Amino acid sequence: MEISHERSGDVVVVVPVGRVDAVTSDKLEQSLLGLVAQGEAKLVLEMRAVEYISSAGLRVLLRLARKQKERSGRIVLSSLGPAVRQVFELAGFVSLFEMEASRELAITRLANAPSP
Amino acid sequence: MEACERMRVPGSKEGLRLAAERFEAFSAAHGLSKGEVWPFQVALDETLSNIVGHGLSGGGEGTAIEIELRLQGREIEMLIVDDAPAFNPLEAPTPDTELPLEERQVGGLGIALLRKLMEVVEYERRGERNRLRLRRKLMEEA
């Protein structure tokens, strides 16, 4: 899995590419928690290029969401493909996250929000 | 279409990576798309990470996991055999998937996903080994 970051104003977009599973989820966690530790309060996780996600990846997202909530930060997931969406539905994760259909909509949602 | 592939991977994170890559190569070699095979990839990851994370911890050095992949028409069957302590995923507790963020439990989530994604989950303890048979039709692409 490769992970890249892009900045759009005060929003950071994180783009993982490939599998998010027990092998790769540590790398995703380090990347995301690194941004949280730097005080980034507005994160978008762009999921378009994620082939699939297993429970190891879901655990990372759950920990991240809790951390952001503690710090009054936010994370929006964007562009979930069918595989990722179905796993979210089966795991009951849809209600836990803010989601948008595209990266642009996710950025807009956060850019218009007050900073914590 | 009929095809079968057997592999042995080490009971380690490296073994998980190898198994994921071999599965990907197997499905690509038989013209299957990523949209058709992802449930098997998730189920394989859940099963192997469970074996490596719990069952083999401590004594995992030199232990191998045997995996058999069988494509039959529009179905794939995976047989996963390991010599970790007995563990029947059909008897494992699964988490409440409706609790709010703060109370959400993650233990058992992988097993719950495995059971929901596969049409057939059969467990057998044979001698000193766990045998898990997983099967379903290829996922229909949207």
Interface residue A94 vs chain B (CB under 8 A):
no
Read off the pLDDT band of B55 (50, 70, 90): low
Q: Rounded to an integer, what is the distance from CA A116 to the centroid of its chain?
A: 18
- Rounded to an integer, what distance in angstroms lies between the CA atom of residue B136 and that of residue B2? 15
B122 forms beta bridges with B133
The Cα of B33 is separated from the nearest Cα of chain A by a number of Å equal to 11
For residue A59, what is the nearest residue in chain B, using CA coordinates?
B106
Q: How would you class A86 by CB atoms within 10 Å of its CB: exposed for 0-12, middle for 13-18, buried for 19 or more?
A: buried
> Which of A12, A85, A96, A24 is closest to A57 using CA atoms?
A24
Q: How many CB atoms neighbour CB A102 within 10 A?
A: 12
The answer to whether the beta carbons of residues A43 and A73 sit under 8 Å apart is yes
pLDDT digits (tens, 9 = 90+) for B56-100: 654 555 579 999 999 999 999 999 999 988 999 999 888 888 899
What predicted TM-score, i.e. pTM, was given to this entire model?
0.94
Looking at chain B, list the stretches that DSSP marks H as alpha helix, in order from N- to C-terminal side. 13-29, 34-50, 109-117
ipTM, 2 decimals? 0.94
Mean pLDDT of B36-57: 89
Interface residue A52 vs chain B (CB under 8 A):
yes
pLDDT digits (tens, 9 = 90+) for A35-94: 999 999 999 999 999 999 999 999 999 999 999 999 999 999 999 999 999 999 999 999
Q: Which two tokens stand for residue A71?
A: 């710090």
- Rounded to an integer, what distance in angstroms lies between the CA atom of residue B20 and that of residue B4? 16
